[in-house]
Amino acid sequence: MNLIIQSIHNIPATHLDRIAGLATATRIEHIAAHAYRLREAKPHDAIATFCHDNQLDYGFVRPNQHLSDFGLVVMDMDSTLISIECIDEIADMHQLKPQIAAITESAMRGEIDFAESLHRRVALLEGLDEKALQQVYDERLALNPGAETMLAALKQHGIKTLLVSGGFLFFTDQLKQRLNLDYAHSNSLEIINGKLTGKVVGNVIDANRKAEWLVHTRDELELKPEQVIAIGDGANDLKMMAQAGTSIAYHAKPIVRSQASYAFNFVGLDGLVNLFS
């Protein structure tokens, strides 16, 4: 196996030598500004702790596995593709951010059912002017670091992109157009006379629906599970991630990190490109 070590800062040679020694790697190769490939590496229990203590992300990858082997990347939106939780920022316009953020966190940790949490949070937004949605998009929504680099690499290799979110179509549709994504699915907020009613229209996109959209798109593209990568950060992403051959926990909750193929705790989304370079 190859061991990919990456960070957001320069990696001291002593750290690389230490990891190479633990993994009995035969060679260290510099593959990106802050990323290295350790050839013929073997797992060692001390690698995870050493990397975490030194703010390094790591992943074991087959020598013959490359980004071009994949055909679909499925992404969560809030706190994965983008840096915010949209509903929390909408709530802030209504002076309700602490109450809604607390429900969001509980749902992401898997403590309460997502659909229930969504209905409870959206209900608190009743009466908010729909202009608040665009204000959040314009003033607060930002892509997570490395997103554009990752998406450019995926396009270069002809890999399709699916954005599937428990958030809202207002944001996913704009991101789909802006980033030239291939597919996007999310929840729809009911708006009457320019005001949010506090209700969601149609079926909620929860963990099951996220997984179903991944499988539907995968089958439509005639791909095998091992040709799909899923990226998420919360418990609501676990079923979706389980349907992909490769899953990445992006700055995620512990429950997600423990079940993912790889965890990016420090690097940006462009870490995907380094992982399968």
> What is residue 196's three-state secondary structure?
strand
Q: Is 78 an active-site residue?
A: yes
Residue 149 near residue 273 (C-beta atoms within 8 A): yes
Active-site residue identified among 57, 78, 206, 270:
78
Q: Count CB-CB contacts under 10 A for residue 179.
A: 17
Question: Which residue in this structure is represented by tokens 């599937």?
Answer: 164
CA distance 137 to 140: 6
Q: Is 76 an active-site residue?
A: yes
CA distance 273 to 270: 5
Residue 70 amino acid letter:
F
In 3D, which of 168, 170, 206 has the Cα closest to residue 187?
A: 168
Residue 137 amino acid letter:
Y
Active-site residue identified among 76, 88, 206, 237:
76
Quote the longest CA-to-CA distance of the chain.
Answer: 66
Enumerate the active-site residues. 76, 78
